[in-house]
Amino acid sequence: MKGILKKAMAAALVAVMVLSMSGCTEEEQPQTNQPQQQQQDDGQQPETQQEQEEQSQQQTVTAPSLSQQLKEAKAKNDDIIGWLKIDDLKVDGAVVQAENNTKYERLNEWGQYSWTGTYFADYECNFDSRESLSKNTVIYGHNVDFNDNRDGERFSQLLYFADEEFAKQHPYVYFTIDGDDKSSEMVWEIFSVFYTTTDFDYIRINKDYRNPQEGEITDAQLMNIIKGAQERSEYDYEVEVSGEDKILTLSTCSYKYGRRKDVRFVVMAKLLDEDAVLHTQAKLTQNTDKKTVE
């Protein structure tokens, strides 16, 4: 009898131990699974660089209004025809135009002597209205630093666009002309940034330099300029541009290839529609087979 009782007690004890271990396993199981769940959550939360860029590109910005600055400046000098601005650069000032391209080489926008000059538009360009703008609006500015110091004055600042990240974060140029409505406030989307020699006739405005009466360049001639700019561009921009567009050409000297007098650094942009949606970033990649200066 005692033997039977001992066997019964032993069986009961084993049952209790099994139940106890089972309960412990059930309590520990969620803890075992927890790190796996956390890893899954962690895998969903971080965004890839591509996703971050896509989100940034979907964000929009508002173009600055430059009409008031232009109005006040023009009251002091009637040669002032526009106001030029690029975000985060010191390029934020009046643009003049004279009867030739030499008057303002060593004068500031107020007509006073200045070694760095000012921003001046090619004398052949038309600024009567948005509709009558030249197909190729050309603006010049000095780079007087033989080291191509991008923190210098005037268009030395354009050299910031040789940095890919800066170019990506700054897709637009703002250039406003005198006018009575919002159409004179213009936004230009950059499609090319390049070094070139003056052999490339990227500053052509009229069909024939010798005979301006023949009128401005044709769509085909402008398309040749655009293609030449894209072939030389530091980046491949995802910007559609054609010979039917109006473009803005910002040109300065460069000493990247030594103290040559024939090398230029150029930023080109196309005029956007008045109701265009503006984004915070440009879509671009390095141009690995660009045409380089020789």
**CB 202, CB 247: distance < 8 Å:** no
Range list of β-strands (E), the chain:
60-61, 80-85, 92-96, 119-121, 136-140, 172-177, 185-197, 235-237, 247-253, 263-271, 278-279, 284-286
pLDDT tens-digit readout, 125-158: 999 999 999 999 999 999 999 999 999 999 999 9
Q: What is the dihedral of CA 85, 256, 293, 290, to 10 degrees?
A: -60
What average pLDDT does the structure give for the chain? 86
| pLDDT for 198 beyond 70 | yes
CA distance 58 to 287: 24
Sign of the C-alpha dihedral computed for residues 222, 227, 231 and 234 taken in this order = positive
User: What's the whole-number mean pLDDT along residues 24-53?
Assistant: 46
pLDDT-derived band at 59 (thresholds 50, 70, 90) equals confident
Tell me, what's the pLDDT at 55?
A: 60
| pLDDT for 20 beyond 60 | no
| pLDDT for 5 beyond 80 | no
Instruction: Name the CATH superfamily housing domain 60-286.
Output: Sortase (2.40.260.10)
Domain-by-domain residue ranges, the chain?
2-46, 60-286
pLDDT-derived band at 57 (thresholds 50, 70, 90) equals low
% residues pLDDT > 70 (the chain): 80
| pLDDT for 181 beyond 80 | yes
Tell me, what's the pLDDT at 209?
A: 76
Tell me, what's the pLDDT at 213?
A: 80
| pLDDT for 260 beyond 80 | yes
Give the distance, in angstroms, between the CA of residue 274 and the centroid of all CA atoms in the same chain.
18
